A and B are shown apart, each in its own frame.
Chain A
Amino acid sequence: MIYDLEDVSFAYEADQRALAGVTLKVAPGERIALLGANGSGKSTLMRLLDALSFPTAGRMSAAGQALSEQALADEAVNHAFRRRVGFVFQNPDVQLFNATVFDELAFGPLQLGWARPRIIAAVDQALETFGIADLRSRPPHRLSGGEKKRVALAATLITEPEVLLLDEPTNALDPESRTILVDLLCSARTDGKTIIVATHDLEVAEAVTRRTVILAKGRVAADGETRAVLHDLDLLRRTHLLRSHWHVGSDGRPVAHAHPHRH
Chain B
Amino acid sequence: MARRLAYALQAEDIAAEPGYLQRADPRFKTAAMLVLIITVAWAHQLASVWSFVLLGALLAVASRVPLRRMALQAVLPVLAFTGLIAAPALFLVPGPALVTLPLAGWAVTEPGLHSALLLVGRAEASAGLALLLVLTTPWPQVIRALGALGVPAPITAMLTMTQRYIFSFLQSAADMQEAHHSRIMAPMTGAARRGMIASAAGVLFTRSLDMGQNVHEAMIARGYRGQSLSLDTWRSRPADWLLLGFAVALLAAVIGFHL
A213 near B: Cβ within 8 Å? no
Given contacts A93-B168, A97-B164, A99-B160, contact A107 B222 (CB under 8 A): yes
- Residue A189 at the chain B interface, CB threshold 8 Å: no
How far apart are the CA atoms of A141 and B220 in the complex, in Å?
A: 21
Chain B minimum-CB-distance residue to A107: B222
CB distance from B48 to the nearest CB of A (A): 37
Interface pair B231/A106, CB less than 8 Å apart = yes
0/1 string, B184-227, CB within 8 A of A gives 1: 00000000000000000000000000010011011111111100
Query: Does A120 contact B222, Cβ atoms closer than 8 Å?
Result: no
Q: Is the CB of A112 within 8 A of B223?
A: yes
Q: Are B215 and A94 in contact (CB under 8 A)?
A: yes
Q: Are the CB atoms of B218 and A116 closer together than 8 Å?
A: no
Q: Which residue of A lies closest to B159 (CB)?
A: A99
Is B161 part of the binding interface, using a Cβ–Cβ cutoff of 8 Å?
A: yes
Q: What per-residue 1/0 map shows which CB atoms of B165-180 lie under 8 Å from chain A?
A: 1011001000000000
Contacts of B12 in A (CB 8 A): 139, 142
Residues of A within 8 A of B215 (CB): 94, 97
Which of A79, A86, A91, A98 makes the CB contact (< 8 A) with B164? A98
* Interface: B51 (CB within 8 A): no
By beta carbon, the residue of chain A nearest B164 is A97
**Inter-chain contacts of A119 with B (CB < 8 A):** 231
Whether B222 lies near A99 (C-beta < 8 A) is no
Which DSSP category, helix, strand, loop or mixed, fits chain B's interface?
helix
B163 (CB) vs chain A CBs: closest residue: A99
Expressed in whole angstroms, the Cα–Cα distance for A91 and B223 within the complex equals 19
Within 8 A of B (CB), among A148-185: 155-156, 159
Residue of B nearest to A100 (CB): B140
Do residues B221 and A111 form an inter-chain contact, with CB atoms below 8 A? no
Which chain A residue shows the least CB distance to B156?
Answer: A99
Which residues of A (87-120) have their CB < 8 Å from a CB of B?
Answer: 87, 89, 91, 93-100, 102-103, 106-108, 110-112, 116, 119-120
Residues of B within 8 A of A41 (CB): none
Residue in A79, A86, A89, A107 whose CB lies within 8 Å of B214: A89
- Name the one of B160, B165, B171, B223 contacting A111, with C-beta atoms under 8 angstroms: B223
Q: Which residue of B lies closest to A85 (CB)?
A: B221
Residue positions of A touching B, CB distance < 8 A: 47, 50, 52, 75, 78-79, 82-83, 85-87, 89, 91, 93-100, 102-103, 106-108, 110-112, 116, 119-120, 137, 139-142, 155-156, 159
19 A-B pairs in the complex with CB atoms less than 8 angstroms apart:
A50-B221, A79-B223, A87-B218, A89-B218, A93-B168, A93-B211, A94-B211, A94-B215, A97-B215, A99-B138, A99-B163, A103-B230, A107-B222, A110-B229, A111-B225, A112-B223, A139-B140, A159-B222, A159-B223
